[in-house]
Amino acid sequence: MKRLWNSIKDALGIDTRPRLSSEALQEMFKTRYRAFRELLTANSAALEAMAEMEVAVAEEKTYSISFIRSKCTVIIVNLYKMIRNLLLMSDGRYVNLEPAFHRIEEQIIDIIEKKISGNDAGEWLLPINQVNRGIAAQCGEKMANIGEVATLPGVTIPPGFVITASASRAFYLNNDLYNAINRFHHLIDINDIEDISKKSEAIGKLIIDSPLPPSLEQQIYANYDRLTELAGRDILLAVRSSALGEDLEQASFAGLYDSVLNVKRDGLIKAYKEVLASKYSAAAISYRLNKGYMHEDSTMCVGCMIMIEAMVSGVCYSRALSGNDQEMDIFFSQGSAEGIVDGTKNAGHAVMNRAAPFHLVAMKRAEDGGEGFSEAKALELAMVAMRLEEHFGAPQDIEWCLDAANCLYILQSRPISALLFRDRQEEEETVIDDGRLLMRGGVTGCGGAGCGPVRVVRNHADMMAFQKGEVLLVEHPLPEWAPLIQQAAALVAESGSEAGHLATISREFALPSLFALEQATHTLDDGDDITVDASNRAIYRGRVEELLQEVRKQPNLMSGSPVEKTMTEVLKLITPLNLTDPASPYFRGAYCKTMHDITRFCHEKSVTEMFSFGQRYQFADGASKQMITEDAKPLDWHVINLADGFSDDFDTKSNFIRISQITSQPMQAIWEGMHAYPWEGPPAGGVRGMGNIIFQSAMNPTLDPAISSGLTKKNYFLISRNYCNLSVRLGYHYAMVEAFISSLRTERYVTFRFRGGAADETNRVGRIELISQVLEYFQFRVEKTGDALAARVEKREQKFIADRLRVLGYLCIHTRQIDMVIDNPQHFQRYRNKFQTEIEAMIGNDQ
């Protein structure tokens, strides 16, 4: 309404502009310019953080939840700064912006901040025979499965109890551990194994030193005493991890968490805390970071079961790992099974058929025992295994043992990770026989080939010394070497099998690996270059090119992980740009849907505010001046001085200014780029009809065309000594160049926007493609949407920034009207070459 009244008054020639003293206006203008400058710096910081998030996703980099939280914080804080400054500059316009911003902010917080509630009413302890998959969220998959196993006929498990997720959460919350541990995580460097190791120790110590809630401690002892009474003898417990979210398809967490064995009553509390702390072993931290899991994602439940004194123990896969669906695998050895999954023991191997009546297909005993494992027991185990598979509806990975009385106990049952199955190609092994062969044999963990210098790793110090690209050579494939998997070129172990934890992890990371290659540490010398052909189980001296042709495909480790999901969700609220056209009726604060919209809106409006200040307040110093040539011919360019952009000898009363009177460094650079080469005119063959006249008149890009009024709006430079914003409307396209060249890196950037054209869409998009190729060649970061383009460079040397402005000045002039002919590939190529050659000659080749 007020606006309407004003426009009526305008129409009647009544001046509605506020009147203020010239000093007051000067002060106001200065204050606004300072706010504008702060807004621009905040804009840069926010856009940089957005770009970093996009790059992390596009390049399938590994990123952590701390990364997401940091970037979101940077973006939100800087957007808030932008809004605050825009409101300061605009006499309180744009009131709808803040509510829109806070709405998006709250949605982002909901996504990235995990709230772990303290009012968790769940039981802290449960007897093992009372747990099942219905309450897996309280006891972890592992214990849920084993509890359920106990209900099946003919299946026996050791008695025990579970310390639940609620108990673990109560312990964390009582000691403020979530926050304390997050503080360590924020600063962890994923590539620095030593750093991870140190933090792992510190977190471990923190957990061990924190007291349990007293009533939890009492309940744990009470349960132990109940078990003792039940057994009627002194008992030892196996205290095992059963983490939530463990054993998922995409992430095995194979062997990364500890079990503590042979635990007596007085060691129980410490053992419990040790298992909790094993969630933060260096291997587990590194694995989670690489695979995109948060430590809050996996609450640690702990199972305590009576130790069975095992005569024989092992692992059974109810479907053979070879992929043969008629058979199952049983691995076994003397004593406890830990050695098999740890990879420290070479196991015996029995193959059984999968349907009743069960029978033995093949049996191979290891040298060091397993004699106690009879064929009869193998049949019993096969039967139990199929019963488990039937119950759970999928092939099972089963840990089992036989006690002194030859009684069969099931210790664990879980679905076989898909990663365990080998490809069922009966691959012909090929070996190159030209004298370079060093070793043959072993078991393939993960196929493929890798090459690098050998590094034998036996201890922590060796681990710290490990360099990216080396071949990891170990005696035993212990899970603690897992952090090296990401860095190694290949893995070779003297012991172990394809069933071990490290083998599983090597498959997840697509690292060529070879196990049970005896004498490897004696045959291969530290530091020698070798090529490991894991598929064909062979090792060669030097680099065998023909084996390394196939590029090792790094799988997207984050795929499907909680961190990736968080990123996808949060990016939807950050990066899409809906407000693209300032002329559209939807270009308003209330329509901002993403953080990118907010930055775009604030930026656009802040430029407009600075632009219109002189006019609105009748402030001569802030009004526009027209450019003239040195011999006083008028040019079609206009300049508004925001601060210190004109030389001291310029008379502020004058309406005309020469380029020599401009002190703005960025404007000078753009100007140079515009004038380095004369425009060659509109492209031949693209000139049609009435357009011809306009094109002709535009032959000299800087002379004021008499017919411009209808088609071209004025072209403005907004400047200060360090700043320039140029809006150009040349013919039918719109371009915006903006830069700040400060002595401070934080303040340095160039940004470019380009849109439109007179040609049809294919051609307009073709021109965008051409410009984007040239910009990328000159190291801009480019984003294209349809016939619009945005490009940016920040925080580089001052000369680099100034040269980018010359590039943009050049392009503003020379891309005119080429959209008429760009669909011809020859034209495309010719322009590209011409642009790159001329620009390089202009700025000197600093590529």
Partner 1 sequence: MTSERHFKPEAILNIRLLVVDDEDDFREIIHKRMSRFGVNPNLAACCSDALASMEAQPADVVILDVAMPGMDGIQCLGKIKGRWPLAEVIILTGHASVKSGMDGMQRGAFDYCLKPIDVMELLEKVELAAQKTLVNREEGMA
* Minimal distance, residue 567 CB to partner 1, in Å: 15
Half-sphere exposure of 211 (CA within 13 A, CB side): 4
Q: Based on CB atoms, which residue is closest to partner 1, 73 or 829?
A: 73
User: CB 109 → partner 1: shortest distance, Å?
Assistant: 5
Q: Cβ 740 to partner 1, closest distance in Å?
A: 12
Nearest Cα neighbor of 156 from 403, 415, 408, 335 is: 408
Among 25, 76, 136, 472, binds partner 1 (CB under 8 A): 76
- Residue closer to partner 1 (CB basis): 105 or 329: 105
**Residue with smaller CB distance to partner 1, 466 or 800:** 800
Shortest CB 297 distance to partner 1, Å: 18
| Contacting residue, 132, 182, 322, 708, with partner 1 by CB under 8 A | 182
Nearer to partner 1, 256 or 741 (CB): 741
Site map 21..60 versus partner 1, x via CB under 8 A: -------------x---x--x-------------------
The structure tokens 């001291």 sit at 648
Q: Shortest approach of partner 1 to residue 111 CB, angstroms?
A: 10
Please identify, using beta-carbon distances, which residue of 74 and 789 lies nearer to partner 1. 74
Binds partner 1 (CB under 8 A): choice among 47, 72, 88, 478: 72
By CB under 8 A, name the one of 66, 444, 575, 664 that touches partner 1.
66
> Which residue type sits at 249?
E
* Number of chain positions touching partner 1 (CB under 8 A): 31
Tokens coding 337: 């099974």
Residues with Cβ < 8 Å from 526, sequence gap 6 or more? 454, 455, 456
**x/- track of binding to partner 1 for residues 539-578 (CB under 8 A):** ----------------------------------------
**Shorter beta-carbon distance to partner 1: residue 40 or 212:** 40
Applying the rule CB under 8 A, the residues between 465 and 494 that interact with partner 1 are: none
Q: In the complex, what is the shortest distance from the CB of residue 624 to partner 1, in angstroms, rounded to a whole number?
A: 26
Q: Name the token pair of 412.
A: 């664990």
Would you say 188 or 248 has its CB closer to partner 1?
188
> Minimal distance in Å, beta carbon 487 to partner 1?
22
Nearer to partner 1, 119 or 743 (CB): 743
| Stretch of residues binding partner 1 (CB under 8 A), selected from 103-111, 248-256, 553-561, 765-773 | 103-111
Per-residue binding string, partner 1, 735-754, x by CB under 8 A, is --------xxxxx-------
Please say which residue, 26 or 773, places its beta carbon nearer to partner 1. Answer: 26
| Shortest distance (Å) from residue 621 CB to partner 1 | 19
Binding characters for partner 1, 797-836, by CB under 8 A (x = yes): xx--------------------------------------
Q: Does 70 bind partner 1 (CB under 8 A)?
A: yes
The distance of closest approach from Cβ of residue 41 to partner 1 in the complex, given in angstroms and rounded to an integer, is: 7
**Cα angle: 654, vertex 660, 663; to 5 degrees:** 90
The interface region with partner 1, picked from 177-185, 598-606, 687-695, 716-724 by CB under 8 A, is 177-185
Instruction: Give dist(CA 121, CA 167) in Å, integer.
Output: 10
Structure-token pair, residue 691: 């357009």
In contact, 287 and 369? CB cutoff 8 Å: no
77 vs 202 by CB, closer to partner 1: 77
What gap in Å lies between CA 365 and CA 379, rounded to an integer?
Answer: 16
Concatenated DSSP letters of 308-324: P--SEEEEEESS-TTS-
837 binds partner 1 (CB under 8 A): no
Smallest gap from Cβ 744 to partner 1, in A, equals: 5
Cα angle for residues 31, 33, 38 (degrees, 5° grid): 95
69 is a contact residue toward partner 1 (CB under 8 A): yes
Residue selected from 6, 7, 151, 179 as contacting partner 1 according to rule CB under 8 A: 179
Which tokens hold the place of 742?
A: 């400060």
Verify cis geometry, omega within 30 degrees of 0, for the bond prior to 555.
Answer: no
Q: What are the distances in angstroms from CA 656 to CA 634, 749, 760?
A: 8, 29, 38
Closest CA to 704 of 715, 691, 693: 715
The secondary structure of 526-549, three-state, reads CCCEEEEECCCCEEEECCCHHHCC
Q: How far is the CB of 113 from partner 1 (least distance, A)?
A: 7
* Residue 89 near partner 1 by CB under 8 A: no
81 or 600: whose CB is closer to partner 1? 81
- Give the residue with the Cβ less far from partner 1, 81 or 354: 81
From the list 182-190, 709-717, 771-779, 831-839, the region that binds partner 1 by CB under 8 A is 182-190
User: Is beta strand 715-720 parallel, antiparallel or unpaired with respect to 634-643?
Assistant: parallel
Identity of the residue, 189 or 390, whose beta carbon is nearer to partner 1 in the bound complex: 189
**Residue 188: which residues within 8 A CB-CB, separation 6 or more?**
64, 66, 195, 196, 199, 285, 289
- Told to check if 779 binds partner 1 by CB under 8 A, we report no
d(CA 159, CA 143): 12
Q: What distance in Å separates the CA atoms of residue 189 and residue 63, rounded to the nearest whole number?
A: 11
What H or E segment, with its residue span, contains residue 134? none
Is 84 exposed, middle or buried (CB count within 10 Å of its CB: 0-12, 13-18, 19+)?
middle
Task: Characterize 208-238 residue by residue with b for buried, 16 or more Cβ atoms within 10 angstroms of its Cβ, and e for exposed.
Answer: eebebeeebeebbeebbeebeeeeeeebebb
Q: Considering beta carbons, is residue 56 or 730 the nearer one to partner 1?
A: 56
Query: How many C-beta neighbours within 10 Å does residue 670 have?
Result: 28
Q: Cβ distance 193 to 270 under 8 Å? A: no
Q: What is the DSSP string of 446-495?
A: E-SEEEEEEEE--SHHHHHH--TTPEEEESS--GGGHHHHTT-SEEEESS
Q: What is the nearest approach in angstroms of partner 1 to the Cβ of residue 108?
A: 7
Beta strand extents in 118-222 (DSSP E only):
125-127, 160-163
- Applying CB under 8 A, the span of 102-110, 571-579, 670-678, 814-822 interacting with partner 1 comes to 102-110
Looking at residues 105 to 144 of the shown chain, list those that interact with partner 1 (rule: CB under 8 A).
Answer: 105, 108-109, 112-113
Minimum distance of partner 1 from residue 112's CB (angstroms): 7
Burial (CB < 10 A; 0-12, 13-18, 19+), residue 664, is buried
The amino acid present at 303, given as its one-letter code, is G
The tokens for 577 are 């740009």
Interface positions with partner 1 (CB under 8 A): 34, 38, 41, 66, 69-70, 72-74, 76-77, 80-81, 84, 105, 108-109, 112-113, 179, 182-183, 186-187, 743-747, 797-798
